[in-house]
Amino acid sequence: MKKNIKIAPSLLAANFALLKEEVVAVEDAGAEYLHLDVMDGHFVPNISFGASLIKSIRPYSNLIFDVHLMIDNPDRYISDFVDAGANIICVHAESTKHLNRTIQLIKSYNVKVGVALNPSTPLEAIKYDIDNIDMVLIMTVNPGFGGQKFIPQMLNKIKKLRTIAPNIDIQVDGGINNEISKLVINAGANILVAGSYIFNGNYKEKINSLKS
């Protein structure tokens, strides 16, 4: 089981008037990833930002840019996000008719592949692609908005995935704080996404509290 816990602050919770400073600050505070939620208003009922914003902050950070595409037909935009500086591109299993084709497309750009699963989507959705995936993102809230409460039934899903794939990166996103982090880490997660929890306090203290 993976034990090296990595923290991925979610840019959605940052102060967009001071975006460069926010990105630099979370890196200085000990984050390893920057979680970038791209929403199109169709796949999820919200709109966020696109490749151009990601490209604009890439020069100021050495963080792993973890791009979470909550969009329909993600294949159309993979190259744009690679060009913007993505290190990992995570697509939803529910967003594409041919998941294997999408995974292979992402891999063709020599970036890591993640697949996200909504709370109601079973692990069986990735059963035949698990060996081609670098990271599985278990959504612990329904995607689209920050500040939602963690869905406790997802702990069993994380445990089951860790048993099936002992060496894969398991990322969790939704309702993560210092209490929930203990539960998801014990279940087998090793990459934690947190937005409002980190950005509404002392970044270093909050990041350390998630790891401990």
DSSP for 84-145, please give it. Answer: HT-SEEEEEGGG-S-HHHHHHHHHTTT-EEEEEE-TTS-GGGGTTTGGG-SEEEEESS-TT-
Catalytic one among 40, 66, 169, 173?
173
Interior angle at CA 124, CA 119 and CA 126, nearest 5: 90
Q: Known catalytic residue: 37?
A: yes
Nearest Cα to 137, choosing from 109, 114, 168?
114
The pLDDT score that the predictor gives to residue 145 is 63
Asked if residues 154 and 171 have their Cβ atoms less than 8 Å apart, the reply is no
The pLDDT score that the predictor gives to residue 127 is 95
**Lowest-pLDDT range, 98-102, 115-119, 138-142?**
138-142
Catalytic one among 28, 37, 83, 169?
37
- pLDDT tens, 151-166? 999 999 999 999 999 9
φ/ψ of 144, rounded to 5, equals: 135, -30
Q: Known catalytic residue: 173?
A: yes
pTM over 0.85: yes
**Lowest-pLDDT range, 41-55, 76-90, 104-118, 144-158?**
144-158
